[in-house]
Structure 1
Amino acid sequence: MSGPSFSHDLRQRQTQSLVLAPQLRQSLKILQVAALDLRSVIQEELQANPTLEELPMEGESVEKPAETDAPNDTSTPGEHEDVAPPGDDSPTRDELDFTKQFEILGKIDEDWRDHFANVGGAQPFTAEDAEKRQHFFDSLVSETSLQEHLMQQVVLNDLAPPVHEALHQLIGNLDDRGYLAQSPSDIALQANLPYATVTEALKLLQSFDPPGIGSQTLADCLLAQLHAKGRGDTLAARMLRDHFELLSRRRIPELSRKLGVAADDVQAAIEEIGKLDPAPGRRFAEDSNRVVVPDVVVEKEGDEWKIHLNSDYIPRLRLSSTYRELIAKGTLSKEERDYLRERMRSGKFLIDSIEQRQRTIERITREIINAQLPFFEHGVSQLRPLTMTQIADVVGVHETTVSRAIANKYMKTPHGVFEFKYFFTTGYQAESGDSVSNTSVKEMLADLIALEDKSAPLSDQEIVAKLQEKGITLARRTVAKYREELGILPSNLRRDYK
C-alpha cells in the first residue's frame, strides 16, 4: 500500500482588490466622524505633522466665511487660496464626490514659493495655551464599559489558563444587555475549548457583578438577581422558574390557582419582579452618559431655513510659514526638502478634506430640508419617505458618500435633536395619494394608544381599523411589529384592572 503523494506547482491567478491609500482612508474617516470626535482625529495629525498649525478657535460661520486681507488672518479652512482653490461656491459633482476627488489628489505645484505666497505668518503657541489644552484633554473622562468592568473582576481570581481564555470568550460574546449572544456549546466550538471548561467559566461569570450578567434568557437573568438578594425561594422566584410564560402574559388568576396562593400575593410578587433589571449590562452602554452635540443646527429666519454647521470642536488649521520660508531659502538638503514637501502636501490634503466635509454635510442638509420641509414646518407627523439615493442624485454624489456623511451625526431642529439617519425612512401610500413615512405611522400608533381607554385597550386589529380610517392600510403583524419597536405592551398587558 503506497502512502499519500504530494506535489508542488506554480500557478498564476489574476484577482481584483480595492486598496485604499492612507490619505483616502483619512478622508473617509474625517467625513464619517461627528464634529465632537473629529477634534481628536485632527489632533493626531497635528502631533505627527510639524508643518501644520492650529489657529485660535473663534465662532465664525463656515457657511459665510469672513473676508479679510490681513496677513495674520485666523479664518476657517477654505478662506485662503492655499487652503481651498477659488472658484464657484457651488461644488461640481466631481468636487463633491469624495471617491472621484481622491483619484486626482496628490498633485501640487512644484513652485512652493508661489503656492504659499498668501499664507499668513505663524502665530506663537504659548506654554499657557498648551497648559489649557492639556487641562481640557485631562478633564475628559470615559465611562467604564461592561467588558472592562468584568475583566477587572477576572484578574481578582486565580484561574487556570483555559478557564481564563474561556472567560475572555464569554465576555466578548455578551450583548449590550449583558446576555450571552451565543450558546456555550457554540462558543466552545469556535474557541476550540472543552465544553466543560466553558461551562465552568460561565458559572464563574454569572457570579460577577452586576447580578444577572451572562444569562441566556430573561427568566434566568431575573432569577439570578433574586438569588443574589437571598430571595431564591420566594414566590417571585417560583413564578420565574416554573411559570414564566403565564407570568409574561400576566395571567394572575391562573398563577394564583397553580401556585395555590391568593391573587394579591401574585400581584405583590409581580411588583417585586418589576423592580429587577431586565438588562443589567445596559448601565455600562458606551453612550449611556454621553452628551449629544448636534453637528448642524437648522433654524428658520423669516421665511428662510438657515443652516449653521457646528465648527466649535473642529480645530482650524493652516500650513506653517516657517517651513515655507525654509524651503524658499534653498538651504535644505534634498531629503529635508522632500520630507517637508510631503508633510505640507499631507497637511494641505487634511485641510481640504475638512473643508470638503463641511461643504458636503451642508449640501446634504439643504436637500434634506427641501425633501422634508413639512417635517421642519409642522413636526414628526409630517415626515415623508426618503432614501439616500434620492439625496445622492440631487446633491450629485454617490450614495455611499451620503451614507458616510450622515453617519454618527445629529441635527438640531425646531422639533428636537435627531440623528441624520432619522430623516431617511421607508413609507406607505395613503388613500389620499400622499406618501407617509413609517416613522409618522408609528407616531399615529403611539397617539392612538396614549388616548385609549385603559380599561379596554385597543387590540392590534382595532389599531389596524383606526389607521384605516386615517387612510393608512397596514397588516396586523406590521402594527404588532411597530408596537414592539415602540416598547408598547400588547393590549392584555396594558389593561388597567383597577
Structure 2
Amino acid sequence: MHLSHSQQMKMDQQMKLAPRMIQSMEILQLPLMALQERIEQELEENVVLEQLQDDPENRSETEVEVEREKAQDSEHDTELLSERELLVDNDHNNEADFERLMEMSQEWSEDNSPSGSRVSSNRMDDISDRQHDAIANLTEQADTLQEYLLEQFSFFECDDELREFGEYLIQNLDKNGRLQSSLAEISQVYGRIIDIERAEEALQLIQKLDPPGVGARNVKECLLLQLTDETPFRDVLVTLITEHFEDMGKNRLPVITRKTGYSIELIKAAEEELRKLNPFPGRGYEEVSVQRVTADLKVEQDDDGKWTVELIDEYIPELRISPRYIRMMQNNPDAETKAFIKKKVESATWLIESIEQRYGTIKAVAQAIIDHQSDFLENGPQSIVPLKMQQIADVVGRHVTTVSRAVDDKWIQTPRGLYPLKRFFGGGTTTADGEEVAWENIRRKLKEVIDGEDKQSPLSDDALVDALAKEGLTLARRTVTKYRKKMGIPSSRERREY
C-alpha cells in the first residue's frame, strides 16, 4: 500500500444568512402584537435601549446607579444577553437562528376558545344520588377532555382493575373523544393482562360519562350512545344509523324507503333529530386560545380619489439608543465594560433598523396590493381580480418570500372592513371569452346560484354552467365541478330535498 499527501483546491457554493438578515426577516414576519411583545422584551433585556419619550436625565439617582451596576457587572449582563446572543454571532453559520425563524409561523397560529358543558343528568343512571350531586357541581370547564373525564370517572364504584384500565382508556381517547385503536389492541399494549370482557366493562363505564358519545369506537357508535329513551324517533334512528348510514349521507331517501318501508316524511323527521347529535363530542375541550386581531395598516381615499396606505404604529414605541450609555462606552476606561456596552448598542441598533425596514417593506407591499385591487375597494368583493405574490414582488422589487413574510398575519383596515393582506391574493381561471376571473368571484356567484335553486329539483353541473353563463361567467363544466367540490357543495342528487 502506498500512502501520499497532496493538496487540492476545491470551489463550492454555500449559503450563509448574515445575522442582520435573519433578524430583519424575523421582525418582518411578526404580527403587530407579537412585535410589541418583542420590543418590550428587548427593553427589559437591553439596558442601552429606551423609548424616545423617556428622558434618562430625569431619572432618580437610584435608577441611574442600578443601571450603572448592570453595565459594570459583565457576568450578570452576559446572562441577560444569552437569549439573543446569536443575533450578533458572526463566527458560525447561525443554524439556531435559522431554525428559530422557520418555527415562527407555528408559534403565532390562530385558534379558537375552548368550551365545555356540565354533566348531563341522564348520563349517570348507575351512580348514587350523593355521587350525582358531586358530579353536578364539577367545574364547568376542565383544562382538557381527559381531566374532565377522569374527574367524573373517579366517582364510579369499581374495583382497582377496572379503575386503572378505565383511566388508561381515557388517556387513549383522541381529540374527538373516540378511541384511537380497537379495544383489543389497547388491551394488548396495556402492560398487564386483562380479559376482553373486563375491558369492555370498563369501556361501558366511560361511555356513560359526559359529554355524551365519548368512548365510542367509530362515528356510528358515537351517535348511538347519544340516543336516549326520550329521543324522538329513537327506533328509526337506530335503524338508520346502523343499517343505512351511508345512504343517509348520500341523500338516498328513496332507497331507504324501499328497504325499510319508512315514509319519506318519517325519514326526514328522523334526519332532523340526527343533525342534533354531535359526532365529535371531544372537540370542545381542546386547549386553544384566541389571538387578538389588530390592524397593521389602514387605507383611505385622498382628495384626488387615490387609495393610500398608512401604517398604524400607535402600539409600537419609538426607540433610541441611550445617550448616557454612548458616553459611558466612549469614556469608561474599563475594556470589559466598553465591550459589553458596544455589543448591547450593536444589538439595539440592529433592532431599530429592522423595525424601520419592516415598516418600509410592509407599506410598499400593501400599497402595491391596494393599487392592484382598487376596484375591490370601490365596488366590493365582486370586483376582486386574480393576484399572485410574484406580481407584487416584481412591483416592489423584493423577493417573493419577502412579500410572503410581509403579508403573513398582517391586517389592513379598509372602508369595507378589516381584512388580512393575504385575502387580496388568489388564483382564478380564464373564461371561454379569455377573461381572467378570480376564484372569489366564481365562489360567490356559484353559491348565489345554488342558494337560489329549486331544492326539489337542484341544478346539475351542466345546468350550473348555463346559469353562470347568464351571470357573465362562461366556464367549462369541469371547472364548475372542480370549484363546487372545493366549496364542499354536494352533487345535485345529494342536494335534492324530497
Name the TM tier (shorter chain).
0.5 to 0.7
SS of 2:299's equivalent?
strand
Question: Alpha carbons of 1:336 and 1:428: their partners in 2 closer, same or farther (altered >3 Å)?
Answer: same
C-alpha separation in 2, matches of 1:301 and 1:278:
52
Counterparts of 1:23 and 1:144, CA distance in 2:
39
Q: Which among 41, 45, 51 is matched to residue 42 of structure 2?
A: 45
Structure (1 or 2) with the greater helix fraction: 2
1:366-388: CA deviation from partner (whole Å, max 9, x where unpaired): 11112222222212122211111
Q: Distance in 1 between matches of 2:13 and 2:88?
A: 22
Gaps of 5+ in 2: 1-9, 58-86, 91-110, 117-141, 155-160
Residue 54 of structure 1 is matched in structure 2 by 51
Aligned to 2:390: 389
Alpha carbons of 1:287 and 1:144: their partners in 2 closer, same or farther (altered >3 Å)?
Answer: closer
1:152 to 122, 147, 168: 147
Shift of 1:462: 1.0
Residues 482 and 166 of structure 1: CA distance in aligned 2, closer, same or farther (over 3 Å):
farther
Q: 1:29 to 1:223 in 2, by over 3 A?
A: farther
Q: 1:168 to 1:359 in 2, by over 3 A?
A: farther
Q: TM-score, normalised by structure 1?
A: 0.65
Q: CA separation of 1:209/1:232 partners in 2, compared to 1, >3 Å: closer, same or farther?
A: farther
Q: Distance in 2 between matches of 1:19 and 1:168?
A: 45
Distance 1:451 1:18 in 2: 56
Other structure's SS at 1:245 match: helix
Separation in structure 1 between the aligned mates of residue 282 and residue 21 of structure 2, nearest angstrom: 37
Alignment of 1:87-486 (within 5 A): 143-144=113-114, 149-153=144-148, 156=151, 171=174, 174=175, 178=176, 184=181, 196-197=189-190, 210-212=211-213, 218-226=219-227, 234-280=235-281, 283=284, 289-302=290-303, 303-331=305-333, 333-470=334-471, 472-486=473-487
Amino acid at match of 1:33: L
With normalisation by structure 2, the TM-score equals 0.65
**Counterpart residue identity of residue 361, structure 1:** I
1:402 CA displacement:
0.9
Once residues 259 and 450 of structure 2 are traced to their aligned partners in structure 1, the CA distance between those partners, rounded to angstroms, is 32
Please give the alpha-carbon distance, in whole angstroms, between the structure 2 residues aligned to 1:17 and 1:211: 58
Cα distance in 1 for residues equivalent to 2:341 and 2:458: 72
- CA spacing shift, 1:485–1:431, aligned 2, 3 Å: closer
Segment drifting more, 407-416 vs 441-450: 407-416
CA distance in 2, matches of 1:271, 1:253: 17
The answer to whether the Cα contact below 8 Å between 1:213 and 1:221 also exists between their aligned partners in 2 is yes
1:260/1:142 Cα in 2 relative to 1: closer, same or farther (>3 Å)? closer
Q: What residue in structure 2 maps to residue 94 of structure 1?
A: none
The alignment-based identity, stated in percent, is: 35
State whether residues 431 and 471 of structure 1, in contact with CA within 8 Å, keep that contact through their aligned partners in structure 2.
no
Q: How far apart are the structure 1 equivalents of 2:39 and 2:494?
A: 52
Report the number of matched residues: 396
Distance in 1, matches of 2:49 and 2:387, equals 40
CA contact (8 A) 2:24 2:357 kept: no
Give 1:144 deviation, angstroms.
4.6
SS at match of 2:144: helix
Q: Is the 8 A contact 1:298 1:413 kept in 2?
A: yes
Change (3 A) 1:412 1:338: same
Higher relative contact order (CA 8 A, sep 6+): 1
Distance 1:365 1:150, change over 3 A: same
Give me the whole-angstrom Cα distance separating, in 2, the residues matched to 1:50 and 1:163.
55
Q: What SS does the corresponding residue of 1:428 show, helix, strand or coil?
A: strand
Q: Is the 8 A contact 2:206 2:214 kept in 1?
A: yes
Q: Deviations over 1:93-128 (max 9, x none)?
A: xxxxxxxxxxx9999xxxxxxxxxxxxxxxxxxxxx
Amino acid at match of 2:328: L
Aligned AA for 1:402?
Answer: V
* Structure of higher CA gyration radius: 2
